[in-house]
């Protein structure tokens, strides 16, 4: 069995096309679906491409996969404990300036401010959160 999860645009890449072809050439049946991460109690709201490839004789159907019982999660589950004075904290001056510019221009950008107790999916990590966490 081969399992892959990625961003949804990956579905249309040459890399995914090659992967599908190679797996089928090796005798795998390839199944794909786009799943909402929050429906699986993840800390993000993004839709994800999911692929499961199985060998002949193994049956698989995304419609038969049971979702977990919904539960509230806190953003703190995905964060490291960092002391208030730590140099990794930022006042985010660039984002504050962008928010002011966009507000003046009538655009909809607004900073998303959360605490460790903020629950999901009301507030869920986005791609921007992931990018900041890697920096």
Q: What is the pLDDT of residue 123?
A: 46
Whether residue 6 is predicted with pLDDT greater than 90 in this model: the reply is yes
- Among 112, 124, 113, 133, residue whose Cα is nearest residue 41: 124
pLDDT band at 108 (very low <50, low <70, confident <90, very high): confident
pTM of the complete model? 0.64
86: region left, alpha or beta (phi > 0 left; psi from -120 to 50 alpha): beta
* C-alpha distance across the termini of the chain, in Å: 34
pLDDT band at 121 (very low <50, low <70, confident <90, very high): low
């Amino acid at each position: 069995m081969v399992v892959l999860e990625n961003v949804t645009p990956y579905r249309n890449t040459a890399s995914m096309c090659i992967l599908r072809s190679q797996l089928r050439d090796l005798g795998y049946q390839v199944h794909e679906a786009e799943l909402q991460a929050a429906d699986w109690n993840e800390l993000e709201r993004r839709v994800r491409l999911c692929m499961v490839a199985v060998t002949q004789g193994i049956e698989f159907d995304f419609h038969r996969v049971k979702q977990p019982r919904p539960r509230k999660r806190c953003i703190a589950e995905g964060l490291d404990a960092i002391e208030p004075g730590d140099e990794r904290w930022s006042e985010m001056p660039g984002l504050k300036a962008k928010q002011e510019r966009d507000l003046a221009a009538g655009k909809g950008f607004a900073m998303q401010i959360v605490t460790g107790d903020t629950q999901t999916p009301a507030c869920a990590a986005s791609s921007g959160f992931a990018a900041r966490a890697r920096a």
